Amino acid sequence: EQELEDEDESDLEIRPPVVTVVGHVDHGKTKLLDAIRQTNVVAGEAGGITQHIGAYQVWTEHDGIERAITFIDTPGHEAFTAMRARGAQVSDIAILVVAADDGIMPQTVEALNHMQAANVPIVVAVNKVDKEGANPARVRQQLTEFGLVAEEFGGDTMFVDVSALQGKGIPELLDAVLLTADAGLDLRANPNKDARGIAIEAKLDRGRGAVATVLIQSGTLHVGDAIVAGTAYGRVRAMHDENGDAVEEAQPSRPVQVQGLSTVPRAGDTFLVTEEDRTARQIAEKREAVERNAQLAKARKRISLEDFTRALEEGKVESLNLIIKGDVSGAVEALEEALLKIEIDDSVQLRILHRGVGAVTESDIDLATIDNAIVIGFNVRPDVKARERAQREGIDVRFYSVIYAALEDIESSLKGMLKPEFEEVQSGVAEIREIFRSSKFGNIAGVIVRSGTITRNAKARVIRDGVVVGDNLAIESLRRFKDDVTEVRTDFEAGIGLGKFNDIQIGDEIETIEMREKVRA
């Protein structure tokens, strides 16, 4: 539709409808696709062998005119839905097959839900009417409940009785498809431009290399065109149709099997023609880089509270694993107890894999990596190696200094009530190398900034061996030599006065903290 809006009305020409066949298992989808193929009024050229390429076109006489219909030759709604998940809308119309003896079954409902969700109009094929016990009227009756009301009952859904086995009712079914296409579906495309479309099936052939069946959605594809399909690119070396016949050019709604791509695209990948080979390759490489990054990010991104909450909302949840480290055992126990009391849905399990006193260590991160856990540091920080490893593995490590803040964060995440969250961001870390006694300012820490920037306005925290010994401290003085400064960057030395807080030792770290609104992925 988007595409149509960009087009000049006068460039648009009618294109054949593209149809998917769906329904309950064993209701005759495959048989019906075979029967339809056999009614084709235009036979393949002599010598052609019928091939499964994922889609085929049939020609049928409708109102005295020969018209084409494209069928996706992969029965079932699963392939349709998988392609849709990639953003590809392949079908214009769905044929819902219901066996007249069985009536509506679970997958009938599932399939029609999928089609209705995608806004695809449905034609009902009431199959197996040749069978004893067939009850086509009951099928019509049953489907009214799902909003599919037969025309004879005053609705606008077309029902056609067929026997795929005997090839009966097929022309009527094709007529119904074309009537549905003509009534309200504006199936037009501009054939006079570079082709665009969707890959619907692809494989690696021993002799021919990558072969992909593509469905042209607009424009015309020619042998010799430079194309990019997903992350595959190349020049169209040859095209074949479902009869194995060579094709020179393919117009909208035509499925063709294409040779010449560098690799095998996936079903649902979009393809387009580019002016030059180079451009096709560049687009493919760009797409590949984007994809690789997304995959890496996914692999690295272990479960976070946000992911967990999302999984909870989507109803696919296992357990939330936690590792708790704290400065004193009383706090760790209190936090553990409080966390286990959070009331959550039965489908959710909160498991505390490990608890302990002391800094967050590498082995905590390793455990979190294996068991997909979130690490909570209560008044403790990770040591340098743990910090690096957590970053590399994408482990969610959260720091709190009050129990209720930890509880609130986890509880609200669990319940999916994510308000804008603020998180502490470490803006700088400095190491204490000397201590000067000053009668006026108290103890002054002579430091070197190890990372980030120490800023005068930030809150400071003193950390000794990974444990927070002073928190929420104001920086009362920040100096370089004799000058007052507002910030000191990495690798520079400075003097820091923390006012009344005098419990500092050589080797301690002073980190500065800023509160920032949390960015969610």
Does residue 136 bind ligand GDP (CB under 6 A)? no
Residue placing its CB nearer to ligand GDP in the complex, 24 or 302: 24
> Which tokens go with 310?
């999302």
Beta bridge partners, 432, equal 447
Minimum distance between the CB of residue 66 and ligand GDP, rounded to whole angstroms? 26
52 is known to lie in a ligand binding site: no
Residue with tokens 């009417």: 129
Binding residue for ligand GDP, selected from 54, 75, 191, 197, defined by CB under 6 A: 75
Backbone angles phi, psi at 50, to 5 degrees: -60, 130
Identify which of 288, 268, 291 has the alpha carbon closest to the alpha carbon of residue 199: 268
> ∠ at Cα 217 (215, 221), nearest 5°?
70
Residue placing its CB nearer to ligand GDP in the complex, 73 or 487: 73
Q: Which amino acid appears at position 65 of this protein?
A: I
Binding residue for ligand GDP, selected from 127, 218, 413, 477, defined by CB under 6 A: 127
> ∠ at Cα 445 (359, 448), nearest 5°?
75
Burial group, residue 48, by CB count within 10 angstroms (0-12, 13-18, 19+): middle
3-class secondary structure, 263: coil
Does residue 28 bind ligand GDP (CB under 6 A)? yes
Residue placing its CB nearer to ligand GDP in the complex, 169 or 265: 169
> Which tokens go with 290?
């984007």
Identify which of 325, 319, 385, 316 has the alpha carbon closest to the alpha carbon of residue 355: 325
Q: Which amino acid appears at position 432 of this protein?
A: I
194 is known to lie in a ligand binding site: no
What 8-state DSSP symbol labels residue 40? -
| DSSP letters spanning 75-106 | -SHHHHHHHHHTT----SEEEEEEETTT---H
Count H helices, E strands: the chain?
Answer: 12, 29
> Which tokens go with 360?
């967050």
Residue placing its CB nearer to ligand GDP in the complex, 165 or 344: 165
- Helix, strand, coil percent content, the chain, rounded in steps of 5: 25, 40, 35
209 is known to lie in a ligand binding site: no
**Contact yes or no for 414/309 (Cβ under 8 A):** yes
Type and span of the H or E element at 354: strand 349-357
How many C-beta atoms surround the C-beta of residue 40 within 10 A? 17
Residue placing its CB nearer to ligand GDP in the complex, 28 or 191: 28
Residue with the CB atom nearest ligand GDP in the bound state = 28
Binding residue for ligand GDP, selected from 7, 110, 130, 175, defined by CB under 6 A: 130
Residue placing its CB nearer to ligand GDP in the complex, 105 or 334: 105
Does residue 164 bind ligand GDP (CB under 6 A)? yes
Binding residue for ligand GDP, selected from 29, 196, 254, 398, defined by CB under 6 A: 29
Does residue 20 bind ligand GDP (CB under 6 A)? no
Minimum distance between the CB of residue 27 and ligand GDP, rounded to whole angstroms? 5
230 is known to lie in a ligand binding site: no
Window contacting ligand GDP (CB under 6 A); options: 162-170, 240-248, 345-353, 474-482: 162-170
50 is known to lie in a ligand binding site: no
CA distances in angstroms from 109 to 144, 146, 158, 173, listed in the order given = 12, 8, 17, 21
Minimum distance between the CB of residue 160 and ligand GDP, rounded to whole angstroms? 12
29 is known to lie in a ligand binding site: yes
Residue placing its CB nearer to ligand GDP in the complex, 108 or 274: 108
Binding residue for ligand GDP, selected from 15, 27, 140, 196, defined by CB under 6 A: 27
Type and span of the H or E element at 310: helix 305-313
Does residue 77 bind ligand GDP (CB under 6 A)? no
Minimum distance between the CB of residue 135 and ligand GDP, rounded to whole angstroms? 14
Window contacting ligand GDP (CB under 6 A); options: 163-171, 213-221, 245-253, 502-510: 163-171
Binding residue for ligand GDP, selected from 7, 30, 208, 431, defined by CB under 6 A: 30
CA distance 168 to 305: 57
Binding residue for ligand GDP, selected from 25, 185, 289, 384, defined by CB under 6 A: 25
Q: Which of positions 278-307 make contact with ligand GDP (CB under 6 A)?
A: none
Residue placing its CB nearer to ligand GDP in the complex, 127 or 231: 127
Window contacting ligand GDP (CB under 6 A); options: 158-166, 184-192, 248-256, 360-368: 158-166
Q: Which residues of 68-106 are buried (b: 16+ CB within 10 A; e: fewer)?
A: bbbbbbbbbbebbbebbeeebbbbbbbbbbbbbbbbbbe
**Contact yes or no for 414/406 (Cβ under 8 A):** no
Window contacting ligand GDP (CB under 6 A); options: 124-132, 297-305, 389-397, 411-419: 124-132
39 is known to lie in a ligand binding site: no
Residue placing its CB nearer to ligand GDP in the complex, 28 or 377: 28
Residue placing its CB nearer to ligand GDP in the complex, 33 or 496: 33
62 is known to lie in a ligand binding site: no
507 is known to lie in a ligand binding site: no
Does residue 110 bind ligand GDP (CB under 6 A)? no
Does residue 506 bind ligand GDP (CB under 6 A)? no
Minimum distance between the CB of residue 105 and ligand GDP, rounded to whole angstroms? 11
Binding site for GTP: which residues? Answer: 23-30, 73-77, 127-130
Binding site for ligand GDP (CB under 6 A): 23, 25-31, 75, 127-128, 130-131, 163-165
Which residues are documented as binding site?
Answer: 23-30, 73-77, 127-130
